[in-house]
Amino acid sequence: YIQAVGWAMASAYRGDNKIAAAWIGDGSTAESDFHSALTFAAVYKAPVVLNVVNNQWAISSFQGVAGGMETTFASKGIGYGLPSLRVDGNDFLAVWAATAWAEERARTNQGATLIEIFTYRGAPHSTSDDPSRYRPADEHEHWPLGDPIDRLKQHLIKIGEWSDEQQTAAEAEAVEQVRAAAKESEAIGTLGQSRPSVKEMFEEVFAEPDWRLVEQRREVGV
Ligand SMILES: Cc1ncc(C[n+]2csc(CCOP(=O)(O)OP(=O)(O)O)c2C)c(N)n1
Ligand SMILES: [Mg+2]
């Protein structure tokens, strides 16, 4: 958030029509960076779209732990003077419309917008996470707002713009793209299986390496 807001402030300062967009989770809003970013976005009318993806869970803690029980995440923006929307995040067209509105505001230099995207994280936080340890294992089956892809598909079929065959083909194409990208990255290395050279540890972080880094690299002898 802070980088996006800073970048957008620079864009406003230059008077160009470029805008920034950022996405964080419900849990991340509990960090002070969220509040610094909202203050600067409002005060400097930064052309930025600030999205909070409220998927109900921050690894194992419920969104209420991050303050989502006291008020909505959208209403936090209002306190900073930012127009704020709360949208059904599983309704593709609603997300599209809210985003287009916020984008237009940013492009015409009317300032930042906060959008709370209300959704649900059905899957684990990461491959090492097991949600059945902290919530009912079948909880995701009871989420009432459905699956966003399925909802868009049903809608498009209903208005005669799409078919089951097109959906199947589009999904196969997406799977193929992901598979090709995975293959490409596996060729570079796989955690636990490949042995990256030790000197890589010292490279591509600083343009001018700090003296400590230079010394450590000399000690390792790479
Ligand atoms: C400053 C800091 N504190 C704690 C963590 C550990 N951590 C990693 S992800 C996470 C939860 C984030 O939740 P959310 O923002 O809702 O993202 P989601 O899990 O929904 O993707 C936490 C606490 C961290 N990465 N950084
Ligand atoms: Mg979350």
The domains located in the chain, with CATH, are 1-145 (3.40.50.970), 147-188 (no CATH), 195-222 (no CATH)
Task: Report the separation in Å between the CA atom of 90 and the middle of ligand 2, taken as the mean of its atom positions.
Answer: 15
pLDDT at 218 over 90: yes
98 and 115 in contact (C-beta within 8 Å)?
A: yes
Rounded to an integer, the average pLDDT of 186-193 is: 85
Is residue 94 in contact with ligand 1, taking CB distance under 6 Å? no
User: Which DSSP symbol is given to 205?
Assistant: S
Task: Report the separation in Å between the CA atom of 197 and the middle of ligand 1, taken as the mean of its atom positions.
Answer: 30
- In this structure, the residue with its CA closest to atom 8 of ligand 1 is 59
190 falls in which pLDDT band (50, 70, 90)?
Answer: confident
41 and 49 in contact (C-beta within 8 Å)?
A: no
The beta strands (E) that lie in 96-213 are given as: 113-118
In the predicted model, what is the mean pLDDT of the chain? 95
pLDDT in tens, 2-13: 999 999 999 999
Rounded to an integer, the average pLDDT of 118-133 is: 95
The two three-digit tokens of residue 142, written as one number? 């009871």
- In this structure, the residue with its CA closest to atom 25 of ligand 1 is 28
